A and B are shown apart, each in its own frame.
Chain A
Amino acid sequence: MMSFQNIDLEIAEKYVPIIVNNLRNKGVKVGVRESILVLKIFESYLLLDNKKSISSDQFEKILISVIAKNDYEEEIIKKALQELFFGKEDYSNEIYLASERFKNKLIDKNKLSGQQLGDFYKLMAIGGLVKRGKYYRTIDKEKLDQIINNISLDQKTLFKEKLNSILKKLSPEEYIKLLNSDLFYDNLNSLNLDKLIKIAEFLSKKHYNKPLNKVKEIIKEKISNNNLKGENEKLWKTLSSIGILDKDLQKALVIREPSLSKKSKLDISEFNNLNDNDFYNEKQRILLNYAKLSDNENLLNDFLNKIELKNLWLLNKSPIGGEKGKLINAAIYSSKALKEAIEYAESGYEGRKDMSNYYLQKSNELLQELDNKVSIGKINKIETKFFNNNVLKILESLEKGEIQGIKDIDLAIYVDLLRSIYHRSDDIKRRKIIISANKFLTHLIYMNGFKPIPIKKKYSVRPGRLMVKESVINIIRNKEDFLVYKRNVRTKQIGLALDISSSMYKYSSWALSVASIFIHNISRLVLFSTKAISYDKIRKNDVIKILLTVDFNGYTDITRALEQFNDKKFNKIVIITDLKQTVRNEDPSIKANELVRKGIKLLFLVPSDVDKELINKIRNNGGCVKLVNNPEQLAKELIKLLR
């Protein structure tokens, strides 16, 4: 192990070229000029202080000051030095350290925990331990060194597999002992559900939230992937008895077993965006269950407030009679009409179109019999009529065979329509859908009075390449007497994080639409719900594809979203979310504060009904919060910011 207290000129001369080379491989632009300058400044330090060497801290500072152009590169330099002087990335070092710990000692395995125990298993996996009665000890020193020296990159996978198979067999109690070692997280995935639940139980009792979250996530994945029927109620009981049955897990279970919705405290709105195609039966059963539970007018009112109009077709018919019942039926017909219109768009069957028209007619007939004032939940006569009009427009433009004809309908409905068609189309048709969505979104943004920013700008002064054609046009047609040069406009760059949990469907559809137009200004796009995915340098069509395919589902984990911006310097990060951190993780305001202290500006754009306390918490930690009243306004705010 190398470790430098002080660095003299000889060491510096040896290492600067290595470091510089290392940095180049990591994408930092650095030339010979800078290497020489580092050494010269180094010498000047010796001169100024009349010394023969300087501290490694000072050495690091020189490198950073000369080479780093921003905080991000500063981090890279720090890491590179760490690696160089302490070999952190080096795998055989890890084993070496483990062997150092146990060399010439009798090991009582039962007394080990955490990193010690982790090291023990690592040694075991390479065959570095022998059992002597009750105790273990490391094998012959020479042999051990030989094994360690031979651990190469390709053996690493082998080694990991071996390690994994050892850890898989551990009892939950034994596995928990690994909690403070790197192995704990790495191998959770291979444990079975029973063991995971036991581990979760333990962690939950001790309030170890971070590992608990991770375990829960894996439990959830296992639950949604396995098909054991009939176990759901039992699972529900077990998970809730150990206090880890959070919304996420509840939802996964309700989807598997809709009758559990009674037990859950989940809102029907959680299921609005469940994919119709993949969860057709489940979704219908869930909605019917909720409808059944809403057996008085108050509950029904609440239910109809939370269910999206487009999902009403799953109900078939109003659960109540009277005027309000009539209105509900009219809305159900509207929803069916939209559903049929979408089917028509996909299949081209004329029968579907006729059905859609038929439902529209039914709906409008019912509406005519009703007074304007009748309303229940968010359903009322005028809205329903408006909805029907939109469906009619869709039908008309489909008849003409051009999706992009649908210009003035609501974005949310349009996106729904396209998403649904996209889902069931073949590749060729998908490409067409992307093109038409592209046109529609551009149109939409233009209609709102905004133009994307050009990436190239024409200049009359001479900072870039001469544009011959433009110059000729400029002189002949525009009768201006200057040449035109091209130069890249330095556009504003931001990181954008979008909450795609189910509650944010409308807001984030708008935001994504805006993002697709202003994609040049977005250096990283992060979509987050329970999980977070980040995209760097994507193109407009990719964003549209995301808009058409992403599942607006799951819960909000803002902390996770913010973690996506750890690795690089962003001047400004915009987070669009309803701030409802429904996943138990580290407090998002702490993470926010961490970023703010790195000098990053954080702006949260949130719906106006968000909890004031949450807003204050973010603000107190240095984040900026702006309230918007509706998705359209959000789009406008975002555009303002990007321009």
Chain B
Amino acid sequence: MSLDNDVIEKKVYETYAQIATESIMIRNVKEAANILEKNYKLIVNENIIRLVYASFLNGRPVLFEGPPGTGKTEIGEALLELWSGKKGFLLPCSENYDEYKVIGDFHPLMAMKIGFTEESFVPRVLLAAMILDVGVLVDEIRRSSDEFQNLLLDIIDKRRIVVPELKRVFKSKGSGFQVILTSNPEDVAQNELSDAFLRRVIRIKFDYPDMETEKKIIRIRSFDRPSISEELINLILKTINKLRKSDILHKPGTDESVSWVKLAQSIAKLENEDVVKVRHVKEAATSLLSKRQEDEELIASVISDVFSEY
């Protein structure tokens, strides 16, 4: 069946191809690490890239496990894009996902008129990704149901999607269709992943970066001006690390340390200062760190503790 007369493929190209824009394909580990830093501003350990690529070579799904703000989503998306040379799709999970919502559904009115045919079929993300041969990032997999997880693994294992109503089987055509899943195992509010599920994925653990890496991330992600001293960044990271070890509910991720610095810079700029001062950092802190009222007190005490001599 050629593209011209395949209704479904045509629909996919019409609606999804503009998302899956072409970029460069990079399958060399070292080079990928460089590009991630330069083009995506992401600092990613080569070991992670190597393991992800090795899994992709074998068509296995990868599970990124770790606390929020450790770059799982962003790094996952970037790696999928580098691997397949096209931007992939993001599928944020929700409790009520089923095959109709991710593979495809029938347009109710049209289906009534003309029946369950290719014309009344509306392809969705997963099918589109397989047809376009691009990656899918399934975000926060623990929010979905067991049934959905099994469906997903089945598709990945066999690299094909069956739509029984159409009596059609869609097969993956290249190696671009890969899946990365993310999960935060510490979130007690979400479902646990079953052992059966965990046995079928390659688990990669994410954690908060060490001081030096995080400094590097801050440097490449914050503004050049007004400049901020090494000393202040150290204080910021000290605070952040203390909070990560405390029992506040929302622990600050790397994104929070980056935002903190950027916000301090913005405040300094408003005041027409060339250099970020302690007071800018402090001012930025309060509005940024506390996501819940209960945590405010603790956060304030940690900050005043760390900044006590300033």
Mark A residues whose CB is within 8 Å of B.
29-31, 34, 37, 40-41, 44-45, 47-49, 58, 61-62, 64-66, 68-70, 463, 490, 492, 571-572, 593, 596-597, 599, 601, 619-624
Give 15 A-B pairs besides A490-B191, A623-B247 with Cβ atoms closer than 8 angstroms.
Answer: A37-B60, A40-B58, A44-B57, A45-B50, A48-B29, A48-B53, A61-B51, A65-B204, A69-B203, A463-B147, A492-B188, A593-B245, A596-B245, A601-B186, A619-B246
Q: In the bound complex, what is the Cα–Cα distance between A61 and B55 (angstroms)?
A: 13
Nearest-CB residue, chain B, relative to A461:
B147
Q: In the bound complex, what is the Cα–Cα distance between A34 and B192 (angstroms)?
A: 21
3 A-B pairs with least C-beta separation? A44-B54, A69-B198, A624-B247
Q: Do A571 and B50 have beta carbons less than 8 Å apart? A: no
Q: In the bound complex, what is the Cα–Cα distance between A601 and B246 (angstroms)?
A: 11
Q: Do B199 and A41 have beta carbons less than 8 Å apart? A: no
Q: In the bound complex, what is the Cα–Cα distance between A475 and B116 (angstroms)?
A: 32
Pull 15 A–B residue pairs with CB atoms less than 8 Å apart, ordered by A: A29-B195, A37-B60, A40-B58, A41-B51, A41-B60, A44-B53, A47-B57, A49-B50, A61-B47, A65-B51, A65-B202, A65-B204, A66-B202, A69-B195, A490-B192
Q: In the bound complex, what is the Cα–Cα distance between A282 and B51 (angstroms)?
A: 67
> Hey, which chain B residues are within 8 Å of A34, CB to CB?
199
Q: Do A622 and B199 have beta carbons less than 8 Å apart? A: no
From residue 125 to 147 of chain B, which have CB atoms closer than 8 A to chain A? 146-147
Nearest-CB residue, chain B, relative to A69:
B198
> Hey, which chain B residues are within 8 Å of A620, CB to CB?
242, 245-246
| Interface check B69, CB cutoff 8 A | no
Q: In the bound complex, what is the Cα–Cα distance between A463 and B188 (angstroms)?
A: 23
Q: In the bound complex, what is the Cα–Cα distance between A68 and B205 (angstroms)?
A: 11
Q: In the bound complex, what is the Cα–Cα distance between A30 and B203 (angstroms)?
A: 14
Q: Do B50 and A48 have beta carbons less than 8 Å apart? A: yes
Nearest-CB residue, chain A, relative to B305:
A620
Nearest-CB residue, chain B, relative to A44:
B54
Q: Do A572 and B198 have beta carbons less than 8 Å apart? A: no
Q: In the bound complex, what is the Cα–Cα distance between A623 and B298 (angstroms)?
A: 13
Q: In the bound complex, what is the Cα–Cα distance between A571 and B204 (angstroms)?
A: 18
| Interface check B209, CB cutoff 8 A | no
Q: Do A572 and B57 have beta carbons less than 8 Å apart? A: no
Q: In the bound complex, what is the Cα–Cα distance between A571 and B184 (angstroms)?
A: 12
> Hey, which chain A residues are within 8 Å of B195, CB to CB?
29, 69
| Interface check B185, CB cutoff 8 A | yes
Which of B53, B186, B247 is the most central at the interface, judged by chain A CB atoms within 10 Å of its CB? B247
Nearest-CB residue, chain A, relative to B192:
A490
Which of A29, A64, A599 is the most central at the interface, judged by chain B CB atoms within 10 Å of its CB? A599
Nearest-CB residue, chain B, relative to A54:
B50
> Hey, which chain A residues are within 8 Å of B242, CB to CB?
620
> Hey, which chain B residues are within 8 Å of A31, CB to CB?
199
From residue 23 to 67 of chain B, which have CB atoms closer than 8 A to chain A? 27-29, 47, 50-51, 53-55, 57-58, 60
Q: Do B203 and A65 have beta carbons less than 8 Å apart? A: yes
A-side binding surface: helix, strand, loop or mixed? Answer: helix
Mark B residues whose CB is within 8 Å of A.
27-29, 47, 50-51, 53-55, 57-58, 60, 146-147, 185-186, 188, 191-192, 195, 198-199, 202-204, 242, 245-247, 298
CB distance from B148 to the nearest CB of A (A): 12
Q: In the bound complex, what is the Cα–Cα distance between A599 and B54 (angstroms)?
A: 27
> Hey, which chain A residues are within 8 Å of B203, CB to CB?
64-66, 68-69
CB distance from B184 to the nearest CB of A (A): 10
Q: In the bound complex, what is the Cα–Cα distance between A62 and B60 (angstroms)?
A: 13
Q: Do A58 and B58 have beta carbons less than 8 Å apart? A: no
CB distance from B111 to the nearest CB of A (A): 24
Q: Assuming A61-B47, A597-B245, A622-B246, is B53 touching A571 (CB within 8 A)?
A: no
* Residue in contact with B245 in the complex, picked from A30, A49, A62, A621, CB distance below 8 Å: A621
Q: Do B202 and A41 have beta carbons less than 8 Å apart? A: yes
Q: Do B247 and A622 have beta carbons less than 8 Å apart? A: yes
> Hey, which chain A residues are within 8 Å of B185, CB to CB?
599
Q: In the bound complex, what is the Cα–Cα distance between A30 and B198 (angstroms)?
A: 11
CB distance from A211 to the nearest CB of B (A): 29
CB distance from B90 to the nearest CB of A (A): 23
> Hey, which chain B residues are within 8 Å of A593, CB to CB?
245
Q: Do B191 and A619 have beta carbons less than 8 Å apart? A: no
Q: In the bound complex, what is the Cα–Cα distance between A30 and B191 (angstroms)?
A: 23
> Hey, which chain B residues are within 8 Å of A619, CB to CB?
246-247, 298
> Hey, which chain B residues are within 8 Å of A44, CB to CB?
53-55, 57-58
Q: Do A58 and B47 have beta carbons less than 8 Å apart? A: yes
Q: In the bound complex, what is the Cα–Cα distance between A55 and B246 (angstroms)?
A: 36
> Hey, which chain A residues are within 8 Å of B47, CB to CB?
58, 61
Nearest-CB residue, chain A, relative to B30:
A49
Nearest-CB residue, chain A, relative to B56:
A44
Q: Do B199 and A601 have beta carbons less than 8 Å apart? A: no
> Hey, which chain B residues are within 8 Å of A572, CB to CB?
188
> Hey, which chain A residues are within 8 Å of B51, CB to CB?
41, 61-62, 65
Q: Do A69 and B58 have beta carbons less than 8 Å apart? A: no
Q: In the bound complex, what is the Cα–Cα distance between A597 and B192 (angstroms)?
A: 20
CB distance from B236 to the nearest CB of A (A): 19
> Hey, which chain B residues are within 8 Å of A623, CB to CB?
247
* Residue in contact with A599 in the complex, picked from B53, B58, B186, B192, CB distance below 8 Å: B186
Q: In the bound complex, what is the Cα–Cα distance between A332 and B191 (angstroms)?
A: 55
Q: In the bound complex, what is the Cα–Cα distance between A166 and B207 (angstroms)?
A: 50
Q: Do B188 and A601 have beta carbons less than 8 Å apart? A: yes
> Hey, which chain A residues are within 8 Å of B60, CB to CB?
37, 41
Nearest-CB residue, chain A, relative to B185:
A599
> Hey, which chain A residues are within 8 Å of B245, CB to CB?
593, 596-597, 620-622
Q: In the bound complex, what is the Cα–Cα distance between A52 and B17 (angstroms)?
A: 40
> Hey, which chain A residues are within 8 Å of B55, CB to CB?
41, 44
CB distance from B191 to the nearest CB of A (A): 7
Q: Do A41 and B188 have beta carbons less than 8 Å apart? A: no
Q: In the bound complex, what is the Cα–Cα distance between A58 and B47 (angstroms)?
A: 8
CB distance from A233 to the nearest CB of B (A): 48
Q: In the bound complex, what is the Cα–Cα distance between A42 and B167 (angstroms)?
A: 39
CB distance from A70 to the nearest CB of B (A): 7
> Hey, which chain B residues are within 8 Å of A68, CB to CB?
203
> Hey, which chain A residues are within 8 Å of B28, CB to CB?
48
Q: In the bound complex, what is the Cα–Cα distance between A593 and B246 (angstroms)?
A: 9
> Hey, which chain B residues are within 8 Å of A48, CB to CB?
27-29, 50, 53-54, 57
CB distance from B56 to the nearest CB of A (A): 9
> Hey, which chain A residues are within 8 Å of B192, CB to CB?
490
Nearest-CB residue, chain A, relative to B245:
A622
> Hey, which chain A residues are within 8 Å of B54, CB to CB?
41, 44-45, 48, 62
> Hey, which chain A residues are within 8 Å of B298, CB to CB?
619
Nearest-CB residue, chain B, relative to A58:
B47
CB distance from A234 to the nearest CB of B (A): 49
> Hey, which chain A residues are within 8 Å of B57, CB to CB?
40, 44, 47-48
> Hey, which chain B residues are within 8 Å of A29, CB to CB?
195, 199
> Hey, which chain A residues are within 8 Å of B29, CB to CB?
48-49
CB distance from B54 to the nearest CB of A (A): 4
Q: Do A463 and B146 have beta carbons less than 8 Å apart? A: yes
> Hey, which chain B residues are within 8 Å of A64, CB to CB?
203
